[in-house]
Amino acid sequence: MSVLSILEFPDPRLRTRAEPVSVFDARLEQLVADMFETMYAANGVGLAATQVNVHQRVLVADMSDDRKQPLALINAQIVEKEGSQVYQEGCLSFPGLYADVTRALRVKVKAQDVHGKDIVVEAEGPLAVCIQHELDHLEGKVFVDYLSSLKRTLLLKRLDKQRKQAASA
């Protein structure tokens, strides 16, 4: 396994729509393993293939404290949404930034596992938020797109300031 480079906003590749996976092979298994390794190394809870410059419909998540509940979803689609929740989201492509985003409270997702087997996942609360967030990445959408233009501008200025401070340190 290896840790992959995570694209950071405003990298234009984050706006690329991912293509469906059609080949379920050892390369896909390696990608999923590398994505988990990358996500864990960055202390994240979710990662979309788009974020590591692979434009296929692959996402990984693990909301558990002990990192023992890995979930890989291939070609995932939300088939049901229910309720509403506001959750403070962060993103590995926006290091150190967080914002409140409104999303569905519960989702039902049809997907495939790494071997191509059809699966259905029902998620609620933080895992539902994570899945929706990662699926947005696969559509070329990022969480700041949900914010008002004023909030988005303030957040992006903060990100720019953090980067300048880090560069001069």
Whose CA is closest to 133, among 169, 100, 166, 167?
100
Three-class DSSP category at 79: strand
Choosing from 8, 122, 134, 139, which is the catalytic residue? 134
> Is the C-alpha dihedral spanning 134, 36, 34, 20 positive or negative?
negative
> What DSSP string runs through 48-64?
EGGGGT--BSEEEE---
- Residue 19 pairs in a beta bridge with 56
Three-class DSSP category at 127: helix
129: tokens are 């938020």
- Is 29 a catalytic site residue? no
- Mind telling me the catalytic residues? 134
